[in-house]
């Protein structure tokens, strides 16, 4: 949980996930053997040195949910617990108890069911990430909404009798939230030009800009975050094609822009081909016109891609960044775009030329 952080100290600060140092892209059924992780969230199969899959992360999510709900640890808390035979046995066999805290906090059966289906001893018996999310969206959250509505109905009734004890409706608070009151900001011509230009870049330069976007100083981004959020009218955290069309409606009218033109921009922005534009892709697209592609930032991006510190960006480096689901043709095209040498390596001077800084 130490890797779940607030972006800053403001009241409405965004929540960030940090420290992906040991993370890598793997396929659904790919097995790993390297033992790593935090002691209190690590799954039994990982600690025991057995091959493990993505299902080990489901166990970790279950532990986090347990701790967040009760402020108690279901199995292990620190390294000292490894010497406690009883705790280790409970950990290995996925045996845990819920103290009186769960009753005192009136933690729902939905929360308990969620945890029970994640903290299964056998990885194959645990819910998948998709099943877990579906349960949250279709069962747990609707229950919480109903409970809040019921509480509000009771409080509203009480407030008629004793007005000083009334409380605002959760729905009322939601309706007045910053997200729903957000005004759509105007999209300037320079921004549209930048998005179109990004779409014309090759996959390697796009990847570099996305890498660079991850390390940008957030204080230098100005109104970019607010602009992104204003385009994201459905508050999903991403920009959909329909939202981009709506945002560019005025621009399209004044510049004889067609739906096909906007669709082309959208496809160019959608670097990972997910069918939606993430904030990091948006930042990557507009970084140049905002003066965010500096020598220091580009050097940092090169160092991140040169993950074995060889002084070059190699085929192996690109495969490591792209993950096991990479396409060999894509890697070769990236090396070609970066003007790789005969050994398939992109040096720093050539990298600077690609980024128009050399």
User: Span 256-269, mean pLDDT?
Assistant: 91
Same domain for 166 and 207, yes or no, is no
Share the mean pLDDT of the chain: 83
User: For residue 237, what is the domain's CATH number?
Assistant: 1.10.238.10
Which pLDDT does position 260 carry in this prediction?
Answer: 92
pLDDT at 160 over 60: no
- pLDDT, tens digit, for every residue of 95-128? 999 999 999 999 999 999 999 999 999 999 999 9
Written as one string, the DSSP assignment of 296-331 is HHHHHHHHHH-TT-SSEEEHHHHHHHH-TT--HHHH
Same domain for 30 and 123, yes or no, is yes
> Which of 169-173, 232-236, 267-271, 322-326 has the weakest average pLDDT?
169-173
**How far out from the chain centre does Cα 73 lie?**
25
Same domain for 115 and 161, yes or no, is no
The answer as to whether 141 is a domain residue is: no
Q: What's this model's pTM, rounded to 2 decimal places?
A: 0.61
Same domain for 281 and 301, yes or no, is no
Same domain for 301 and 273, yes or no, is no
- pLDDT, tens digit, for every residue of 136-151? 999 999 988 887 777 7
pLDDT at 176 over 60: no
The answer as to whether 234 is a domain residue is: yes
User: Span 241-268, mean pLDDT?
Assistant: 88
The answer as to whether 205 is a domain residue is: yes
Beta partners for residue 4, in sequence order: 17
Same domain for 29 and 122, yes or no, is yes
244: containing domain: 189-286
- pLDDT, tens digit, for every residue of 208-234? 999 888 877 777 676 788 889 889 888
Written as one string, the DSSP assignment of 223-266 is THHHHHHHH-TT-SSEE-HHHHHHHTHHHHHHTT--HHHHHHHH
> Which of 79-88, 182-191, 302-311 has the weakest average pLDDT?
182-191
Beta partners for residue 99, in sequence order: none
Contact 268, 198 (CB under 8 A): yes
Same domain for 262 and 174, yes or no, is no
User: For residue 82, what is the domain's CATH number?
Assistant: 1.10.510.10
Q: Are strands 15-17 and 238-239 parallel, antiparallel or unpaired?
A: unpaired
Same domain for 212 and 262, yes or no, is yes
The answer as to whether 279 is a domain residue is: yes
Same domain for 193 and 168, yes or no, is no
Which pLDDT does position 209 carry in this prediction?
Answer: 93
- pLDDT, tens digit, for every residue of 2-21? 778 888 888 878 788 877 76
Number of domains present in the structure of the chain: 4
Which pLDDT does position 224 carry in this prediction?
Answer: 84
| Length of the chain, in residues | 358
Same domain for 17 and 121, yes or no, is yes
Residue in the block written with tokens 């081909």: 273
Which pLDDT does position 226 carry in this prediction?
Answer: 84
Contact 79, 38 (CB under 8 A): no
What's the rounded Cα separation, in Å, for the pair 203 and 199?
9
The CA angle 174-101-147, to the nearest 5 degrees, is 30
Read off the pLDDT band of 287 (50, 70, 90): confident
Which pLDDT does position 165 carry in this prediction?
Answer: 38
pLDDT at 179 over 60: no
Share above pLDDT 90 across residues of the chain, in percent, rounded to a whole number = 45
Same domain for 44 and 97, yes or no, is yes
The answer as to whether 323 is a domain residue is: yes
**How many CB atoms within 10 Å of residue 189?**
10
End-to-end Cα, the chain, rounded Å: 42
């Amino acid at each position: 949980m130490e890797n779940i952080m607030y972006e800053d100290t403001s009241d409405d600060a965004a929540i960030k996930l940090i420290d992906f140092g040991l993370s890598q892209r793997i396929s659904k059924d790919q097995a790993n053997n390297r033992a790593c992780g935090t002691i209190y969230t690590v799954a039994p199969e990982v600690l025991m040195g057995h091959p493990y899959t993505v299902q080990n992360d489901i166990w970790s999510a279950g532990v986090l949910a347990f701790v967040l709900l009760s402020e108690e640890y279901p199995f292990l808390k620190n390294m000292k617990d490894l010497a406690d035979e009883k705790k280790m046995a409970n950990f290995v066999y996925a045996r845990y108890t819920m103290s009186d805290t769960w009753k005192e906090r009136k933690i729902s059966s939905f929360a308990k069911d969620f945890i029970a289906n994640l903290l299964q001893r056998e990885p194959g018996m645990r819910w998948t990430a998709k099943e877990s999310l579906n349960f949250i969206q279709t069962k747990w959250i609707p229950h919480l909404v109903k409970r809040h509505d019921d509480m509000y109905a009771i409080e509203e009734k009480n407030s008629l009798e004793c007005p000083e004890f009334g409380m605002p409706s959760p729905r009322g608070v939601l309706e007045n939230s910053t997200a729903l009151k957000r005004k759509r900001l105007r999209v300037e011509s320079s921004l549209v030009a930048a998005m179109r230009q990004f779409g014309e870049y090759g996959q390697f330069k796009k990847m570099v800009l996305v890498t660079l976007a991850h390390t940008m100083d957030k204080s230098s981004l100005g109104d970019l975050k607010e602009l992104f959020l204003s385009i994201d009218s459905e508050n999903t955290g991403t920009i959909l094609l329909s939202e981009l069309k709506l945002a560019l409606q005025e621009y399209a009218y004044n510049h004889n822009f067609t739906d096909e033109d906007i669709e082309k921009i959208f496809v160019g922005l959608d670097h990972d081909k997910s069918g939606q534009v993430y904030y990091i892709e948006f930042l990557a697209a507009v970084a140049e016109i905002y003066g965010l592609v500096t020598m220091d930032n580009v050097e940092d991006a090169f160092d991140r891609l040169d993950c074995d510190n060889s002084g070059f960006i190699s085929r192996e480096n690109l495969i490591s960044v792209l993950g096991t689901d990479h396409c060999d043709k894509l890697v070769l095209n990236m090396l070609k775009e970066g003007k790789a040498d005969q050994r398939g390596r992109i040096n720093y001077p050539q990298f600077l030329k690609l980024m128009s800084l050399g």
